[in-house]
């Protein structure tokens, strides 16, 4: 078990991808602090927001795989396709689900006025990212991977 954990910790590509995700989450905290003048620790574990941690993670992963295994390797192709799917989902499908949640919450609010005994929780509206948040997250992930390249 110790060897297994040690070998995972030696995987620089994985560590750099995780670091990119953490940096994106910390950046969200800093942006929230600058915008609202208070610390909201919840942004560290919530989905959505600027920049996209999902995008930072998968682009750092794909960039690291490309740097380590070669840009023409099947490994990079898999990582790149995975990154594209994740980013499309973050900006497309989950963004659309967030818009639907916003509309459903408006309907629930109207029902509360008409039927005060109606007691349903509100749906989470901030599920996905705007395309700009995905692009910024991607740029962050690529930048962190390139800065860490000598470690590979």
pLDDT at position 107 over 90: no
From residue 43, give the alpha-carbon distance in Å to each of 104, 114, 148. Answer: 23, 34, 26
pTM confidence score:
0.79
Would you state the pLDDT for residue 20?
98
Tokens of 45: 């574990």
Number of compact structural domains in the chain: 1
Which tens digit of pLDDT belongs to each residue from 2-45?
888 888 889 999 999 999 999 999 999 999 888 888 888 888 88
pLDDT at position 114 over 90: no
Q: What domain range includes position 33?
A: 2-151
Would you state the pLDDT for residue 42?
84
Would you state the pLDDT for residue 147?
96
- What is the per-residue burial (b if ≥16 Cβ within 10 Å, else e) of 6-31? eeeeeeebebbbebbbebbbebbbee
């Amino acid at each position: 078990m110790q060897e297994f954990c040690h070998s995972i910790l030696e995987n620089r590509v994985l560590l750099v991808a995780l670091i990119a995700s953490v940096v994106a989450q910390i950046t969200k905290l800093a942006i929230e602090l600058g915008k609202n003048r208070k610390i909201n620790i919840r942004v560290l574990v919530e989905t959505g927001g600027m920049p996209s941690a999902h995008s930072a993670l998968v682009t750092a992963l794909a960039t690291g795989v490309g740097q380590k295994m070669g840009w023409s390797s099947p490994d990079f192709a898999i990582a790149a396709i995975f990154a594209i799917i994740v980013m499309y989902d973050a900006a497309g499908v989950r963004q659309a689900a967030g818009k639907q949640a916003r509309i459903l919450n408006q309907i629930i609010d109207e029902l509360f006025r008409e039927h005060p005994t109606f007691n349903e929780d509100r749906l989470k509206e901030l599920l996905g990212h705007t395309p700009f948040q995905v692009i910024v997250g991607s740029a962050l992930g690529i930048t962190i991977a390139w800065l860490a390249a000598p470690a590979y």
